[in-house]
């Protein structure tokens, strides 16, 4: 009788252990599905717009109300927009990052946007009410340990 109780107890421990392992494996698969995997050709474009002093808010409004919609329409995926928050001359910077599957796709999408009549109207507005003094563009590739790929 004692051996049967001993066997049942160890059987229960074994079942609990197997259940724990199976549950952990299942949960681990779901968690890994959300991981970001690097695409070897993915490229990002860092764009820093040096706004005319005092015009960064107008530039923000233009992107919020018009430009961001055009970018999305032309498959130019914006990863984020930022404005400098310090009190130096850099506070007139409007910074954004756009990502592409590869450099060729980015070039093709920019060309399509450049020929869009709505974008051409925005360019004319920019020439009438100058918001940007200078644009710095840097193409970047993610490192293998980068959180964003």
| pLDDT at position 147 | 87
Q: With a cut of 50, list the residues of the chain below it in pLDDT.
A: 5-7, 11-14, 16-17, 20-21, 25-39
Question: Which has the closest alpha carbon to 67: 129, 120, 104, 137?
Answer: 120
Q: 102: domain CATH number? A: 3.30.70.100
61 and 1, same structural domain? no
User: Looking at the structure, do residues 93 and 114 belong to the same domain, yes or no?
Assistant: yes
Domain count, the chain: 2
Instruction: List the one residue out of 96, 66, 94, 68 whose CA is nearest residue 80.
Output: 96
Alpha-carbon dihedral of residues 63, 65, 69, 71, nearest 10 degrees? -10
* 3-class state of residue 141 by DSSP: coil
pLDDT at 117: 96
In the sheet with 132-140, reading across from the earlier edge strand, the strands are 77-83, 93-100, 43-51, 132-140
pLDDT in tens, 73-115: 999 999 999 998 876 666 899 999 999 999 999 999 999 999 9
Could you tell me the pTM of the whole model?
0.69
């Amino acid at each position: 009788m004692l051996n049967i109780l001993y066997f049942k107890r160890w059987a229960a421990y074994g079942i609990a252990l197997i259940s724990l392992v199976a549950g952990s494996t299942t949960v681990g698969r779901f968690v890994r599905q959300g991981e970001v995997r690097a695409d070897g050709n993915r490229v990002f474009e860092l764009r820093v717009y040096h706004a005319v002093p005092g015009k960064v808010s107008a530039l923000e409004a233009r992107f919020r109300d018009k430009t961001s919609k055009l970018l999305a329409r032309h498959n130019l995926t914006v990863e984020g927009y930022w404005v400098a928050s310090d009190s130096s001359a850099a506070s007139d910077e409007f910074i954004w990052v756009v990502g592409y599957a590869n450099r060729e796709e980015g070039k093709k999408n920019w060309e399509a946007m450049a020929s869009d009549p709505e974008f051409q109207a925005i360019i004319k507005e920019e020439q009438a009410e100058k918001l940007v003094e200078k644009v710095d563009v840097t193409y970047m590739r993610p490192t293998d340990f980068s959180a964003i790929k």
